[in-house]
């Protein structure tokens, strides 16, 4: 996979996480640019939960590159009947 596709996907992910941190009083304690691993702290458990939900929702709304969606386990899954 081209490096620029991976960099783009990682930047999208980190952007979604950082936006959620900002919105829900999160503090970014550390970040590893190589892996995208991010450690965060929150004022309350409620803030942490809301940030986690915001990240999940945000990731659903990212326009992921086709190369990423073609990877095993990365394609959208649709559940009916809930």
**Averaged over 7-36, what is the pLDDT?**
94
Spell out a b/e string for 7-35, using b for 16 or more CB atoms within 10 Å of the CB, else e. Answer: eebeebbeebbbebbeebebeeeeeeeee
What was the pLDDT predicted at 67?
93
Query: What's the pLDDT tens digit per position in 50-77?
Result: 999 999 999 999 999 999 999 988 877 8
Q: Give the closest residue to 18 by CA, choosing from 47, 44, 43, 55.
A: 55
Band (34; pLDDT cuts 50, 70, 90): confident
Q: Which residues face 37 on adjacent strands?
A: 32
What was the pLDDT predicted at 75?
75
Write down the pTM of the prediction.
0.84
- What are the structural domain ranges in the chain? 3-61
């Amino acid at each position: 996979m081209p490096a620029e596709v991976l960099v783009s996907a990682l930047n999208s992910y980190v952007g979604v996480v950082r936006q959620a941190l900002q919105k829900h009083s999160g503090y970014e304690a550390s970040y590893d640019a190589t892996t995208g691993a991010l450690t965060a702290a929150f004022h309350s458990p409620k803030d942490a939960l809301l940030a986690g939900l915001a990240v999940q929702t945000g990731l659903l709304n990212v326009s992921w590159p086709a190369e990423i969606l073609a990877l095993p386990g990365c394609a959208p899954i649709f559940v009916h009947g809930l």
